[in-house]
Structure 1
């Protein structure tokens, strides 16, 4: 088997972006191919005598996207220290909702099957399912449902309504103190909830909020409510270089009688590619599930399966698994993100779900507990249920992070 290897020299430099890709068709999909110097030749030639030739440098293109090279070498960051979607090649060339690297690997798979004469069997998840779904909840707020409507009533001079809301706040349970409802709703679909708890309740130095609850005070109630659900660490925003991560890890671990969280997700999806992977590896977490664009659903690394991130410093794979985040509730309706109407949400997401199913991947959904509040009619419980109805109809394995780690083989040392 021959695979084109272009002498482009790109990876000896520090430029974040290669030349514009060419486009080729594979399995009915128009796909971008970076580092393609033979665009007029067929993408794949299946030749006599069990030979095959791939005329695009799919290895370089896959490494570029999967490694996150663009964000490692780009200086672009938003107000939360994140690599912005608008600076990405996925945005520039319009393929954020297409797992391009999976298509590259499908070209390789077809070539290998031709050369060996043997079909490569796809991965199977629990109970023989062909793909999987990972339902997660970041617990940022438990006691703030009353604030915005009360503030609105006050600013509009609705004194009676303001008084009623204050009375309700002091005498009734907050609508966001709802983890039992969250768990029950997810369980109705045969799925599991993974809860990421935020141990820091102080604001970041720039005023960005962290948790609205004191985890030490609330933990006995929270632990009893969620039972045996998987618990992850939701790392706060604000401190440089995630120096606070170890402190927050110890805080949550102490509350859990020494049991370490299996995985993490960073608040506001904050991720500094030059630092965060090194720290996660040093602290021996099994998985992270931060890597998705806050601004758009899809595939930040153009891949729909969990993978071991690239360690640029050591020139090898990291030892924690990345479970990519595909869709977050806030992404779907937010002043700075998408502003989809409720009836647009499922039709917009369905092609992405179909791509994940096609390649036997993992669909990771983040739905915050506050968006299970019935008062939310934009990206609330009704929209979550519509997504879950669709997913259940496609028969995935509903898994948690520990299940995924057990399924995926670690990299060889």
Structure 2
């Protein structure tokens, strides 16, 4: 166990130390403000305060972990060996940066509470982030910093045996609409037919009726392929089905359709199933509750995971609603159009509510790549290069890779050519050195 001496034990301090020490490095941590207790401890120990006590392992603290609310924090970025860091703390410290304060800034999403420009869906964009502006979005810096901290501790306590963790994968399959043409109902099928006629999309018109009449397979129905891949993978896939009401933003299948319900149950026999919350459920807890109960009725078990439509988050309200409804995991945090680490980490972390200054029970799985982000790269070779770089970064810190693919990504649409191969590269990456 690591004992940390500090001048004040704050909720922020306990939160970030437990993430870095326990979740990333696998060591228990406790805290004291009593010098005698610190001196008497005969295992791993460090001081985290403004002044070093003697010649102990010491990291000089920044003020952010002892503050409350939001403040105008000045951030100066520095190169640190193979990565970047901020909150420089001088030469007397065992490591030259206060990684705990820097990690808290990223994990709490401090910057997303500050004024920023949103996109047309009201989302925080990658280009607004510190990570993008300072050139470290491509790295899980929190995990990298944690390993640098571990190395410094090992040098100071060479007899301590640190536990190891292994690289893992949590594949996400997002299902905004299970079918392209099937189960759409008379009115929507008629509307789609009229639209195809007026926009001269005769191929779509042909496909629509061949699928409805049963002569062709629905292009979005790739579930047999995905389940077959699940059967050969040691990592459990996590499906998110949209079962909200039809709206301008959400055009899924009517959740009252028996064949759609049967599909969800069939997938749940092989994979984990969560709720893809509709666009309007994001701001209305009554809608979210209705969708949660609807999914629980289908699954006949309690719902533990969710994802928001359009990867939209309103902090902290979105997460507070999930907590109130006792949803324990969320997979929304990430960037639709950029590959990288929105919270600077590839280790799941608990949501810290900056307004209430408390650690919550909601576990955040930040995704690192969405299929759409690779579309900007024209060739399959370029896509593979980007994908392999992300895998390499996560493997370096033995983290968990969370990629998001959609059911239609595995269709025969030329837009998604090569994506089955990319998905297989991800699944096979755990078996490679």
SS in structure 2 at match of 1:78:
coil
Which residue matches 2:239?
A: 195
Which residue matches 1:138?
A: 174
Say which of 352, 367, 373 aligns to 1:325.
Answer: 367
Which residue matches 1:256?
A: 299
CA RMSD of aligned residues (A): 3.0
Whether the 8 Å CA contact 1:150–1:165 is kept in 2: the answer is no
CA distance in 2, matches of 1:16, 1:368: 39
Taking a change above 3 Å as real, the CA distance of residues 144 and 23 of structure 1, as seen in their structure-2 partners, is: same
SS in structure 2 at match of 1:165:
helix
SS in structure 2 at match of 1:177:
coil
SS in structure 1 at match of 2:142:
helix
Say which of 72, 75, 88 aligns to 1:36.
Answer: 88
Q: CA deviation at 1:98?
A: 0.3
CA distance in 1, matches of 2:65, 2:170: 39
SS in structure 2 at match of 1:71:
helix
Say which of 282, 302, 308 aligns to 1:266.
Answer: 308
- Write the deviation string for residues 371-391 of structure 1: whole angstroms up to 9, x where unpaired: 110224536543434423642
Query: Are 1:165 and 2:207 an aligned pair?
Result: yes
Q: CA deviation at 1:95?
A: 0.9
Whether the 8 Å CA contact 2:267–2:273 is kept in 1: the answer is no
Which residue matches 1:302?
A: 344
CA distance in 2, matches of 1:325, 1:284: 21
Question: What TM-score, normalized to structure 2?
Answer: 0.76
Q: CA deviation at 1:230?
A: 0.9
Q: CA deviation at 1:7?
A: 5.2
Q: CA deviation at 1:106?
A: 1.6
Whether the 8 Å CA contact 1:308–1:318 is kept in 2: the answer is yes
SS in structure 2 at match of 1:183:
helix
Say which of 333, 343, 354 aligns to 1:291.
Answer: 333
- Write the deviation string for residues 113-132 of structure 1: whole angstroms up to 9, x where unpaired: 222223443444xxxxx211
- Structure 1, unmatched stretches of 5+, are 46-51, 125-129, 396-413
Which residue matches 2:22?
A: none
Taking a change above 3 Å as real, the CA distance of residues 98 and 166 of structure 1, as seen in their structure-2 partners, is: closer
- Write the deviation string for residues 194-227 of structure 1: whole angstroms up to 9, x where unpaired: 2111111311xxx323424435532024313542
Q: CA deviation at 1:234?
A: 0.9
Taking a change above 3 Å as real, the CA distance of residues 270 and 2 of structure 1, as seen in their structure-2 partners, is: same
CA distance in 2, matches of 1:181, 1:208: 27
Whether the 8 Å CA contact 2:181–2:212 is kept in 1: the answer is no
Taking a change above 3 Å as real, the CA distance of residues 375 and 197 of structure 1, as seen in their structure-2 partners, is: same
Query: Are 1:76 and 2:103 an aligned pair?
Result: no
CA distance in 2, matches of 1:100, 1:151: 51
Taking a change above 3 Å as real, the CA distance of residues 281 and 321 of structure 1, as seen in their structure-2 partners, is: same
CA distance in 2, matches of 1:317, 1:158: 52
SS in structure 2 at match of 1:141:
coil
Which residue matches 2:127?
A: 86
Taking a change above 3 Å as real, the CA distance of residues 379 and 88 of structure 1, as seen in their structure-2 partners, is: farther
Which residue matches 2:138?
A: 97
SS in structure 1 at match of 2:366:
coil
Q: CA deviation at 1:302?
A: 0.5
Which residue matches 1:53?
A: 94
- Write the deviation string for residues 245-270 of structure 1: whole angstroms up to 9, x where unpaired: 1111011112223x112211111111
- Structure 2, unmatched stretches of 5+, are 1-56, 183-188
Question: What TM-score, normalized to structure 1?
Answer: 0.79
Query: Are 1:247 and 2:290 an aligned pair?
Result: yes
SS in structure 2 at match of 1:180:
helix
CA distance in 1, matches of 2:266, 2:97: 55
Query: Which one is further off, 296-305 or 282-291?
Result: 282-291
